[in-house]
Structure 1
Amino acid sequence: MPKSSHFSGQPLYGQVIKLLDKSKILQFSREYGGERYTKRFNSWIHLVVMLYAVIMRFDSLREITASLLAETRKLSHIGITFKIGRSTLADANKRRPEAIFEAIYRDLYATYRHVLSSDSHSRKTPKWMKRLQIIDSTTITLFSNLLFKGVGRHPKTGKKKGGIKVHTVIHANEGVPSDIKFTSAATNDSFMLKPTTLSKGDIMAMDRAYIDYEKFQQLTERGVTYV
């Protein structure tokens, strides 16, 4: 982002919070039913707590709640004026629809994508790069193949890798993904290739995991170049 005195001297967490619109986040939550049966732990608090956990690189609910307890007096300005227990956070993670956070991400992306684009810093970006999108996925191996449907086989044990697959689409001249999906590791990558979202002149770069001849035909008919 361009230099600005707006964030001068502020910690990373404070800078992130300033980019969020509390009223809009709560509006998204109400639309998707995220505020039902909620007394104090609303979607705004849920989001800022999880952002705090990501920035601090916490790995468990115990770490998150213990740290928040120690900082309770300093968090009243963002609405956290009560003790957040592990059960409260666990229930929110389980029950609150993920569509809320998807809507928040898409709104932030639409608002700030022009700032994240290389075009905002330099006019020398080639025209073809503005049309280039890159699609790929990565597998995050988790506890057990019993919990998440596995993919592939481990070269030594012969067992499949259980985990989550992260599917990502990013514009080459931007700094953040335009679309992200999380699935089981066994999900075929090609479902993320959506010809209807592309226009004539667009360029899509991908690996062999996205081979789908029917979709390739659709891309050709739409005038999309794929590599």
Structure 2
Amino acid sequence: MGKSSYFSSKSVFGQLISLIDDHHIRSAVKKSDSDRYVKRFKTKDHLISMLFCSFAKCNSLREVSGAMLGLSGKTGGFQLSHIPKRSTLSDANKNRKVDFFEDMYNKLLHQYGPVLSDSRILDVLKKQVKIVDSSTVSLFKAILNCVGRKPRDGKSKGGIKVHSVINADEKVPSLVWFSPATTHDHSFLKKLKCDENTIYVFDKGYNDYVAFKHFTDRGTGFVTRIKDNAAYNVEEELPIDGCIHSGVLMDEIIELDVKGEGGKTSKLRLRKVRFYDREHKREFEFITNLFDLRADMIAALYKVRWQIELVFKQLKQNFPLKYFLGDNENAIRIQIYCVLMVNLLLSVIKNRLKRSWAFSNLVSFCKIHLFNYIQLMRFLENPEKDWIIDKGESEQMALF
């Protein structure tokens, strides 16, 4: 077999790490002061080690440290200074500030946002649509409080709730907040920034009239489902003649009471849309403070919310979030941020390719060839090229 036309001087892992700018790493280290009192295992070595864990789907500290021994002599592309032992990596996960990893993820998101974004929604609405949701990750120990009943043996497990915001045109989390699994979802609404050019979409688990009034007073739009036991007064019924074909059954202006601080009650005017989904053959009732959009557009906005469910599914199916490398909250947060970074980097690769690849296939390919010297982008564009050339040469040789 002849020399591959896809040979690269960097391993696949080196090419993936090279997507991270060294300047961003130095800046984040300086901002978080994460190298103070550290002699050998610096923050950059820690970052590369944890990214390797996510790329290779390692399930234990021993697996990470053992597998990274294979990087000996192959670190020229990303300047790894120190391969950690199991105890070194464990101590770093426990003690190094999570702020560095959070800052690195935000820097990568800012750098590659234009590659990931799809401007079609923004072009139609002239506003940024952001989807809010949470996902609970079960833990092996009672590190954080988990939901549900305690088992009979008294050995309860923990749970961490990952609250996320994604831009509807990017499909990767743009804001992440961690809490015990018992924390109610609507507490996260206080973390959201109000902006006249933003529309938040979330499910009815986030129902909070005080937050809805806060959004409305500041011109921030929202769309969600109304609770079955909601109390309100119908102020006006809007015509729906032009929307019957789209599934809209009713469009109303409602008024409800909002209890503020000190027991004071104020009124809040919202819009309620009843919609029939022909695909699932069921009715939905939405509430929103967007009075200018068509009723069927309100339903379409809520349907966009499903994208965040697909993001959570993608993360849990393709990355090591069933096994954590530490039994403390700090280590768990670091590992989740590194998984988010790897998910972002592979999403950038996928978006840059002209050839269509399933995300799960791309993850598996990178894991298998992590230490191989393949020119990643060229190979992914035409993986059969070398095989076809070699087969053609063999057939020609057979003629002689």
What's the TM-score, normalizing by structure 1?
Answer: 0.83
Residues 1:174 and 2:176 aligned together: no
Matches within 5 A, 1:34-53: 34-53=34-53
Deviations 1:140-174 (A, max 9, x none): 11113x32211234899999762111111001111
Q: Indicate the larger mover: 110-119 or 73-82.
A: 73-82
Residues 1:137 and 2:134 aligned together: yes
Equivalent position amino acid for 1:54 in 2: S
Q: Which has the larger radius of gyration?
A: 2
Using the alignment, how far apart are the partners of 2:7 and 2:77 within structure 1?
A: 19
User: For residue 191 of structure 1, what is the aligned residue in structure 2?
Assistant: 187
Q: Does structure 1 conserve the Cα–Cα contact (< 8 Å) formed by 2:18 and 2:77?
A: no
Shift of residue 201 of structure 1?
4.3
Q: Does structure 2 conserve the Cα–Cα contact (< 8 Å) formed by 1:152 and 1:161?
A: no
Residues 1:163 and 2:155 aligned together: no
Counting matched residue pairs gives: 217
Q: For structure 1, which runs of at least 5 residues remain unmatched after alignment? A: 1-6
Structure 1 residues 171, 158: CA separation in 2 closer, same or farther (over 3 Å shift)? farther
Matches within 5 A, 1:31-70: 31-70=31-70
User: For residue 18 of structure 1, what is the aligned residue in structure 2?
Assistant: 18
Using the alignment, how far apart are the partners of 1:212 and 1:130 within structure 2?
A: 23
Using the alignment, how far apart are the partners of 1:28 and 1:195 within structure 2?
A: 22
Using the alignment, how far apart are the partners of 1:178 and 1:8 within structure 2?
A: 35
Shift of residue 117 of structure 1?
0.3
Instruction: Using the aligned pairs only, state the percent identity.
Output: 38
Using the alignment, how far apart are the partners of 1:36 and 1:142 within structure 2?
A: 31
Q: Does structure 1 conserve the Cα–Cα contact (< 8 Å) formed by 2:41 and 2:82?
A: no
Using the alignment, how far apart are the partners of 2:93 and 2:131 within structure 1?
A: 30
Residues 1:223 and 2:219 aligned together: yes
Matches within 5 A, 1:99-118: 99-118=99-118
Equivalent position amino acid for 2:165 in 1: V
Q: Does structure 1 conserve the Cα–Cα contact (< 8 Å) formed by 2:18 and 2:78?
A: no
Residue aligned with 1:73, SS: coil
Deviations 1:13-39 (A, max 9, x none): 334312212233133223222101212
User: For residue 207 of structure 2, what is the aligned residue in structure 1?
Assistant: 211
Q: CA RMSD in A?
A: 2.9
Deviations 1:97-149 (A, max 9, x none): 00111111111111211111013xxx6865228521100001011113x3221
Q: For structure 2, which runs of at least 5 residues remain unmatched after alignment? A: 1-5, 224-400
Q: Does structure 2 conserve the Cα–Cα contact (< 8 Å) formed by 1:28 and 1:100?
A: yes
What's the TM-score, normalizing by structure 2?
Answer: 0.49
Using the alignment, how far apart are the partners of 2:107 and 2:76 within structure 1?
A: 26
Using the alignment, how far apart are the partners of 2:124 and 2:154 within structure 1?
A: 47
Q: Does structure 2 conserve the Cα–Cα contact (< 8 Å) formed by 1:152 and 1:160?
A: no
User: For residue 356 of structure 2, what is the aligned residue in structure 1?
Assistant: none
Residues 1:96 and 2:102 aligned together: no
User: For residue 147 of structure 1, what is the aligned residue in structure 2?
Assistant: 143
Higher relative contact order (CA 8 A, sep 6+): 2
Shift of residue 41 of structure 1?
1.4
Structure 1 residues 204, 169: CA separation in 2 closer, same or farther (over 3 Å shift)? same
Equivalent position amino acid for 2:161 in 1: K
Equivalent position amino acid for 2:219 in 1: G
User: For residue 314 of structure 2, what is the aligned residue in structure 1?
Assistant: none
